[in-house]
Amino acid sequence: MSKEEMLEILKTAKVDYVRLELVDLLGNVRGKSLRRVDFEENLDVGFVFPDDVLTRDYADRPIKESDSDIVALPDASSFTIIPYLERTSRVLSYITSEDGTPHPNCSRGILKRVVNKADDEGINIVASFTLSFYLLKESKGKVIPADFAKAYSPEGLLIEQEVLKNMMKNLELLGVPVQRVTKSLGPGQYEVKLLPVDIMTGADYVVKAKEVITEIANMHGMAVTFMPKPFHNYPCNYAEVSLSLLSQGKNLLENRSDPNGVGLSEAAYDFVGGIIHHLPAIMAFSMPTINSYKRLVENKMIAGIGKGKNFILSTSYEYRHGLSLVFRAADPLFNVYIALASILHAGFNGKPDHKVTPGIPLNSYPKSLDGALEELRTDLVINAIGNATIATYLTLKERELKDFSSYVTDWELKNYLRTGW
């Protein structure tokens, strides 16, 4: 929607508060709640935040003290009324420096630049997303799954029907199109699949979906976790990204006469080859935590394209757009904008010598976050996202690794405390 349409809705819907939001480098949503009058009066000049709001670490500490500010400019295209809050709306923003230039750590801006380049070449990128999460409750002082229904059973959908129905209803009211909700593999674990839309809108939908799922669960007395491996004895949470490249109504990835039998065009093989070639660096963004790599112990993923969920890339057919590529080396804690930007950078830089043969692994991938970060440091294609952004991201993640390396876990205490005598 346009700015004028947004202002008209603010008036006619009798909105009192606007929740102005931005996304930091680690994918966390930050923001402030503004009175409608304040929002309208300052809409064109933006809203000031301290510079460090974009670069706080996993423990919410700034990586350095800064006296400078950033400016959040609301993006009217992301504006929505929040149906479950009284007279309140939400809008995402783009970030500039104080002088008005785009800020290097603006997550949405990073993806937007890649999308704009594709637009200039006549390519429309369509994306859909699947996210899994655990519903949690407290029992005897411990946090446990909210139910213990079996995988894919209707029992879980019945037990959690009120909270799930409320989540789906409010996502639809917010304009986030849900294709299905599924009882996933673990107890209390559920999966939401969103319908395909243009990639910027789709990325915004992921941010909104995670907020709505979390907030509605809280309103029902539950908690939600998107942590990749929250329980050592239950399945992991995951994210899947489906991508289609369209031009003048044609799906650029699709070739029904593909001699390999998977329906890919020559351009698709280049695109896939670029992603697999740069996968080790991409994973620093798509699987961004230490905990993310515990998933690799549970599921042996194959670095290539082929049939089945063990392959990092596979093909799928969307009912509107035809063939899409499904990327599986991701989890819900990713910064969706930067992860997508890295995937697209890699895909669009695919070369003939990067091509893959379906069903055959092309290369290996890192088995830990520090391994992925090491690959990110030297991958020039992925660094094209922005050298300053990469440097800041590496600093944030190196602090995380350092803190974890000195932390004594419950497992260590249980197994080592009384040994040696």
Last residue of a domain, one of 103, 124, 143: 103
82 shares its domain with 146: no
- What per-residue confidence (pLDDT) applies to 275? 95
Q: Which tokens belong to 135?
A: 């519903």
Q: 67-100: b or e for each residue (b if 16 or more CB lie within 10 Å)? A: eeebbbbbbbebbbbbeeeeebbbbbbbbbbeee
Are residues 87 and 229 located together in one domain of the fold? no
CB-based contact 164:190 (threshold 8 Å): yes
**Residue 46 region, left (φ>0) first, then alpha (ψ -120 to 50), else beta?**
left
Cα gap 30→32, rounded to integer Å = 7
The pLDDT of residue 334 is 98
Stretches where the chain sits below pLDDT 50 are none
Encoded tokens for 193:
């699949």
Same-domain check for residues 122 and 90: no
Q: How many Cα atoms within 13 Å fall on the side-chain side of residue 420? A: 4
Residues 252 and 391 in one domain: yes
Q: In the numeric block, which tokens belong to residue 376? A: 């990110």
* Whole-number Cα distances in Å, 244 to 89, 111, 122, 189, 271: 31, 16, 13, 28, 11
CA angle (212 as vertex; 206, 218 as ends), nearest 5 = 140
DSSP per position, 124-167? EEEEEEEEEEEEEEEETTEEEES--PPTT-HHHHHHTHHHHHHH
For residue 196, give the H/E element and its range: none
Regarding whether 131 and 73 lie in a shared domain, the answer is no
Asked whether residue 420 is assigned to any structural domain, the reply reads no
For residue 319, the model assigns a pLDDT of 72
Contacts of 37 (CB under 8 A, 6+ apart): none
> Is there a domain that residue 145 lies in?
yes
CA dist 184 and 8 (Å) reads: 41
Question: Is 410 a domain residue?
Answer: no
Two tokens at 390?
């990469």
301 part of a folded domain: yes
- Distance (Å, whole) CA 416 – CA 402: 22
pTM exceeds cut of 0.85: yes
The reply to whether 81 and 132 lie within a common domain is no
71 with 151, same domain? Answer: no
pLDDT tens digits, residue range 91-107?
Answer: 999 999 999 999 999 99
The pLDDT assigned to 351 comes to 85
Look at residue 11 and tell me if it is in a domain: yes
Asked, for residue 409, whether it belongs to a domain, the answer is no
Same domain, residue pair 56 and 149 = no
Of 54, 79, 103, which residue sits at a domain end? 103
Same domain, 338 and 359: yes
The reply to whether 185 and 253 lie within a common domain is yes
Instruction: Give the model's pLDDT for residue 148.
Output: 96
- Identify whether residues 74 and 174 lie together within a single domain: no
Q: Do residue 91 and residue 121 come from a single domain?
A: no
Q: Is residue 157 part of a domain?
A: yes
Query: Count of domains in the chain?
Result: 2
| C-alpha–C-alpha distance, residues 200 and 220, integer Å | 31
- Cβ atoms of residues 305 and 314 within 8 Å: yes
pLDDT in the model for residue 269:
94
Q: What CATH number does residue 143 fall under?
A: 3.30.590.10
Q: Is the dihedral of CA 327, 404, 207, 210 positive or negative?
A: positive
**Domain of 84, in residue numbers:** 3-103
